[in-house]
Structure 1
Amino acid sequence: AIIADVISSSSEVKNNAEHLSQLAINLMNRSRQQSDGINGVASALEELSVSVSEISEATGKSSAHAKNAMDVVDTGAQSMDKSTQATQKVAQVVQDAKQNIEELNRAVVKISNVTRTITEIAEKTNLLALNAAIEAARAGESGRGFAVVADEVRSLAQRSHEATVEIDDVLGKIQSGVQEAVTSMQVSVDVTEHSVSTANNLTEKLEEILHGVSAINSRTQSISATTLQQTESVNHVLSSIQAINARAKEAASATENSQHSSEEMLVSLHELVEKLSRFKV
């Protein structure tokens, strides 16, 4: 009876050992599957880490390019502002010159009026001298001296008239030149004012571009910082996954060793049961 009980117990132990061995095999297979899955996740995370690093590097370069563009636009805006100020000064100088020429034109007009008055006086003087000469001729010998004076006065009046004619001619040329200069100055004023307006508009556009590039630069820097943080997070997760993978491999190895031990124990129990079954009292 004792041997029968031992054989029965040994059979149960063998059955349990077989079941344990099967469980060990299943656990080993699952451990291998988990290890393979973790390896896949680790590979994917490594690729993700590389991609995020590349994105971070690209955004960093974009930020640098945006900073350079912002510096260029800022320099252009400053240069345009200086150019605008210079153009405004030129416009003011041209405007002042135009006013001076207009004042000169008014002075020439006044001189022309004066010479016109002198011409009228000379003509009247010449007429009076002619009448005086006629009266002196009628007076005969007693009017000879007066006739000489009258001739001299008439000669001076004639010379004054000729001088005023020459002055009028010169003044006419001056007025013509002044008028052309005024017209030219007005064109210059219009051109410089248009240039100032255009430069101001361009300066405003450059400032808008500068603000836009500055916003892009800020956004790019923010993205770069975010991707850098993501890279660190991914690397941290990757390290954790790699550590889990290492433990999973250790567990799989331990399970495999346990399965081998179970198989060895199962073989021993099988031999024991066979030997006990041959034993007879």
Structure 2
Amino acid sequence: MTMLLTKMEVRREEANRPSIIKREYEDLIQFAPIILASTTIEEADHRFREDGSLRCLVIGNEHSEPFGIVMRERFHEKMSKRFSPALYYEKSIVRLMDKEALIVECGIDTEQLLDMSASRSEERMYDSIVVTRGGKYVGILTSKQLSSLSNQIRLEAKQKESEVITSTLGALHSILAETEHVRQASADGKSHADRMIDETLTGKTVLDQVSSAFQQVSIRVESQARQTKELTEHTTAVADAVSVIRSWSDSCHMLALNASIEAARAGEHGRGFEVVASEVRKLASLTKAATEQIDETLHQMMEALTLTITTGDQAHSEVNTTLEGLNAALSKFEQLFRAIAENRNRLDQVDAYAARMAVTANEANRQLQTMSAQD
């Protein structure tokens, strides 16, 4: 008795197996009868005659594990010969089975499945492919279904390629727009940097002028201090001379007083000498009064000169402090100038990089547009 697994039995076994990732071809799998190796060729011929749409019979064991296939066209070609029925009808279907049938496990990658199908020999190129899951028979894939699957994969690939091209074109347009923004920002930055360089140079020039003016002031203050000290020294010398004159005046006064006393003692003979002595005393008194006035004036001059020297020293210290601040400011201006110049150089580099990026992006955009037009 022929042992034939029905479609329902195969589907029941398939439903009891664990599911895996579904591939594109799984919805295209068709059912074809699976028969045991003990089935006779006559019984197989009856199956083909009974169902005109049946393209093949799958050969398997009692566990639904396929190991061969019989294609309708080659079966009829073999059996159409004059003595074939008499020779083969009682024989096992294994005699006409294709032992090199392509049997694949469900879940295999679709591209790998198509590659395996395309690598078959020319005579088997249009044979159905037997599909299993966990080694158990599931169904078949016909050449028509494989062709449809190949076209579907190709269309999907083209669609994905078109989507990728469209997406890439959009990204490139964004890159070009951002690149233009970068270049514009770089140009604005360079313009600002140029203005800052000009302003920095102007500020540095003004500071240089102020520094030069303060240096002249410092020189003048130092010169004035020297002159004031010299004047102080001269005033001191004058004061010393006045002291000598005062001493001489006192001596003359004493001598005149003594002369008057001696003239008084001489009586009438000393009267003329007394007149002279009196005049000498008057001159000595006037000289003393004059030297005291000069001494007072010199004392006031010394106080004024001392105050002038103190003020000059303070002014000189303040000028030096200001010069130090100006020199520090000039140093900062030079650092700022170098920093701005370096920043401008970097902006030039950014602009150059952005320009090269724009050229590359435009070339890529042109190539993608060409690819898109070819599709």
SS at match of 1:45: helix
Map 1:221-260 → 2, pairs under 5 A: 221-248=348-375
Please state if 1:93 is matched with 2:223: no
1:145 to 272, 287, 304: 272
Partners of 2:280 and 2:244 in 1: CA distance: 18
> Percent identity between the aligned chains?
25
Partners of 1:22 and 1:229 in 2: CA distance: 44
Partners of 2:346 and 2:147 in 1: CA distance: 61
1:37 to 158, 164, 180: 164
Superposed CA deviations along residues 47-94 of structure 1, whole A, max 9, x for unmatched, are 111112111211221222222222222221121111111100001001
Structure 2: segments with no counterpart, 5+ residues: 1-76, 78-125, 127-141
Partners of 1:193 and 1:95 in 2: CA distance: 11
Match of 2:261 in 1: 134
Map 1:1-281 → 2, pairs under 5 A: 24=151, 26-248=153-375
Pairwise CA distance, 1:24:
5.0
- The amino acid across from 1:77 in the alignment is K
Match of 1:267 in 2: none
Partners of 2:151 and 2:321 in 1: CA distance: 92
- The amino acid across from 1:76 in the alignment is G
- The amino acid across from 2:170 in the alignment is S
TM-score (norm 1): 0.79
Partners of 1:135 and 1:25 in 2: CA distance: 159
Bigger Rg, structure 1 or 2: 2
Change (3 A) 1:22 1:113: closer
- The amino acid across from 2:311 in the alignment is S
Partners of 1:76 and 1:217 in 2: CA distance: 19
Change (3 A) 1:19 1:201: closer
Higher relative contact order (CA 8 A, sep 6+): 1
Pairwise CA distance, 1:193:
1.0
Partners of 2:161 and 2:215 in 1: CA distance: 78
- The amino acid across from 2:217 in the alignment is V
Pairwise CA distance, 1:16:
8.6
Pairwise CA distance, 1:28:
3.8
SS at match of 1:46: helix
What's the Cα RMSD here? 2.1
Superposed CA deviations along residues 212-248 of structure 1, whole A, max 9, x for unmatched, are 1111111111111111211121112111111111111
Partners of 1:204 and 1:191 in 2: CA distance: 20
- The amino acid across from 2:194 in the alignment is K
Pairwise CA distance, 1:172:
0.6
Q: Which runs of 4+ in 1 moved over 4 A?
A: 15-26
Superposed CA deviations along residues 85-131 of structure 1, whole A, max 9, x for unmatched, are 11000010011011111111111111111111000000000000000
Pairwise CA distance, 1:149:
0.3
Deviating more after overlay: 46-55 vs 186-195: 46-55
TM-score (norm 2): 0.60
Higher strand proportion:
2
Partners of 2:321 and 2:145 in 1: CA distance: 101
Pairwise CA distance, 1:21:
6.9
